[in-house]
Structure 1
Amino acid sequence: MDNLTHSLVGALLGQAGLKRKTGLAMPTLIIAANIPDIDAVAVLLGGDQHLALRRGLTHGPVAMLLLPLLLWGIMLWFDRWQSMRGTRPEKRLPVHAKWLLALAYIGCLSHPLFDWFNSYGIRLLEPFSSQWFYGDTIFIIDIWLWIALVAGVWLSLRGERRGTPNWRMPALMSMFAIFLYIAANGLITGRAEQLTGKAVQSQFGIVPAMVVANPVPVQFWKREMLWRDSNHYGQGTFSAPDAVMLDPKIGQHRMTDVSALAEMSRDKNAKAYLFWSRMPILREEQRGSSKVRILTDQRFGNPMVQDRFRVEVPAPRTAQ
């Protein structure tokens, strides 16, 4: 998910009552909810190599063990440093080391959980396994999730400032609403994939090996449907509860072209892309007197984003 969502999740956990457990609870929760994204520095590598590094090692079990410990140590040092300088806020609660460590783990673990909900993918077991996991439940930037998170944080903060005894209740209600929203979206995705698989088989006589219900912005009741078998791929749309519409055009993804894939894997960017891609498509284009091979991913076929998720490699010259 986007970092605003992760930050709001940390803040909501604090407003649900965890902020009263120890000093520095709220900043610890918010920072912990974002800290696995330190792998964003991979974009400095250039090209498409960063795709193979994102949502991997810093989102896996080793990082989930070590990153909270690192943050915990920094926050304890910061509190002591302010105390020695005489700049520690008087209203700050005493720092309880055990509670601060627990909150660092809670905030950090919320990050891979919410990242798993979208279709970008996450390697939850890295470095022990490089398998990608996909939730296909909510869009990577979900406005309805924002609304629920902001409402829960803001209403509970307002109640707290007014001295309302049950100031935690809006945050708790927001958490419950978010749980129901995610669960409902999971059911929509499951229904969409089931009906689309049957529709592909009925309309084209193809039993798809993979059907993906790709969440779309704002319209949470709809999905962009993507399917493929060993040679072909296609797409369509789904609208809850049961409206499936398939695009009559079918393409060939060419993922069985062993020689072309072997040649592309010699290029470091193409190799990284193939590792990252879930639904790769290989095609060739003529560029003047030469050809280029292009790798794209079905999940990111929208013209607004497709240029960010593609890699080009010159095709080898063939003898005349």
Structure 2
Amino acid sequence: MEPVTHMLTGACLSRALGFPAKVRYATVACVIAAEIPDADYVYRLGGPLTYFQHHRGWTHALWSLPLQAAVITAAFYFVHRSQNKRPQRHANGVPPRWLLLFGLCLLALLSHLLLDWTNNYGIRPFAPWNPRWYYGDLIFIVEPLLLLFLGGALILPMLFSLINGEIGANRSRSSGRGLAATALVLMTALWGFRFMQRNEARTQARTQDYRSGPVQHMGLNPYPINPFRWFVVAETSSALELGSFDNRTGTYDTDTLQTISKPPVTPAVTAAKQSWLGRVYLDWARFPIVEDRGTVEQLHPDMDLEPQERTWRVVRFTDLRFGYPVLGMSGSRAPLGAEAWVDATQHVQRVFLGQSEQKLP
């Protein structure tokens, strides 16, 4: 999920459990813990492919969560010690219960993994011993309904507090606890509803008559807001068929039906698959299309190219589970596409992830 949902979930967890009234630093620690696994963005310093290789890796593995919770708790312990050496201006009377704070951080970290599992990018919770990806395929990576539930649960108590301040009423330290709990219940209910809708859609989608033959592998990918609509990728022996399925009608949207034949495996494609990019991308992809698209000069005529680069072959990697037109994504230019430029000796010379180039060793 995107960062805002993670952090709102952390804040709602802390408030719903009543921790702000019991443990100092509870809410801020919970918000940090709910997002800290995405600190693997630091791998971006090594280039886009380095980040892609390590994203949702060890920081999203179950074994690392107690370590991350301990680091966050220790950070607040030292902050607390340093504050106690100075005159207290805003002491709130809530003691720092470190073991409870550690447990809350651990819970917030688990919420991060659960939220990431619900979308179709996936997580590797048992890496490095088991590098398998796990996917919930329930919620789009940006889900406005979750933002509405969680954000509303935090904003409404602030508005009530302003009103109470105007009329002179006292504000409870556990203000908003019921709303936060309700938001979490609604989030869980949305997951459950979409789980049922997805299973029904999969059952119905498998009964469709696919033009390229029997289905070997199928994936249903969520759209935002609409819980009844799914982007279907059905893989047969010779092609991948794409369509949009609606639970309410039990039929495909005929405007989105598309059959993509599996491209031939050229020498350039073989070299690209065996490269660093190929190994990382194919380990992650669920419905990959790896295609020799032509020469660099044909595909990138506006680029400033060296003479020898003009005849290199461009091998494009695409994962069709991200091929549906939502939030600007579409077709071969879907997010998380990649390119390998292969020379005449079948060596990969340049690599791009999206529009960013990865420097090769």
Alignment partners' CA distance in 1, 2:238 and 2:342 = 21
**Aligned to 1:270, what secondary structure does the other structure show?**
helix
Alignment partners' CA distance in 1, 2:94 and 2:15 = 15
Question: Are 1:175 and 2:197 counterparts?
Answer: no
**How many angstroms does 1:315 deviate by?**
4.2
Alignment partners' CA distance in 1, 2:121 and 2:246 = 21
Q: Deviations over 1:13-55 (max 9, x none)?
A: 1221222220000011100101111111122222433222111
**Aligned to 1:265, what secondary structure does the other structure show?**
helix
Larger radius of gyration: 2
**Aligned amino acid, residue 243 of structure 2:** G
Alignment partners' CA distance in 2, 1:238 and 1:220 = 11
Question: Are 1:233 and 2:240 counterparts?
Answer: yes
Contact 2:212–2:239 under 8 Å retained in 1 = no
Q: Please point out which of 266, 275, 294 is paired with 1:286.
A: 294
**Aligned amino acid, residue 311 of structure 1:** A
For 1:1-320, what aligned pairs fall within 5 Å after superposition? 1-16=1-16, 17-87=18-88, 89-91=90-92, 93-158=94-159, 162=164, 163=171, 167-199=176-208, 202-204=209-211, 206-241=213-248, 242-245=250-253, 248-254=257-263, 257=265, 262-287=270-295, 288=297, 289-302=311-324, 304-305=328-329, 306=333, 308-315=335-342, 317=344
Q: Give the gaps of 5 or more residues in structure 2.
A: 165-170, 298-310, 347-361
Q: Deviations over 1:189-230 (max 9, x none)?
A: 11222211211xx24362222211111233232111111134
TM-score by length of 2: 0.80
When the two chains are superposed, the root-mean-square deviation of aligned CA atoms in Å is 2.5
Q: Percent identity?
A: 25
Contact 1:292–1:313 under 8 Å retained in 2 = yes
Q: Compared with structure 1, are the counterparts of its residues 233 and 83 closer, same or farther at alpha carbon in structure 2 (3 Å cutoff)?
A: same
Alignment partners' CA distance in 2, 1:55 and 1:158 = 37
Contact 1:226–1:233 under 8 Å retained in 2 = yes
Contact 1:55–1:123 under 8 Å retained in 2 = yes
Alignment partners' CA distance in 2, 1:141 and 1:92 = 38
Alignment partners' CA distance in 1, 2:266 and 2:131 = 22
Counterpart residue number, 2:354 = none
**Aligned to 1:89, what secondary structure does the other structure show?**
coil
Q: Compared with structure 1, are the counterparts of its residues 3 and 310 closer, same or farther at alpha carbon in structure 2 (3 Å cutoff)?
A: same
**Aligned amino acid, residue 13 of structure 2:** L
Alignment partners' CA distance in 1, 2:23 and 2:130 = 36
**Aligned to 1:204, what secondary structure does the other structure show?**
coil
Contact 1:156–1:171 under 8 Å retained in 2 = no
**Aligned to 1:206, what secondary structure does the other structure show?**
coil
Q: Compared with structure 1, are the counterparts of its residues 88 and 257 closer, same or farther at alpha carbon in structure 2 (3 Å cutoff)?
A: farther
**Aligned amino acid, residue 263 of structure 1:** A
Contact 2:210–2:241 under 8 Å retained in 1 = no
Q: Deviations over 1:122-176 (max 9, x none)?
A: 1111122110001100000100100000111223445567436874221222221
Contact 2:216–2:237 under 8 Å retained in 1 = yes
Alignment partners' CA distance in 1, 2:265 and 2:292 = 12
**Aligned amino acid, residue 177 of structure 1:** L
Contact 1:284–1:291 under 8 Å retained in 2 = yes
Alignment partners' CA distance in 2, 1:147 and 1:291 = 47
Q: Give the gaps of 5 or more residues in structure 1.
A: none
**Aligned amino acid, residue 309 of structure 1:** L
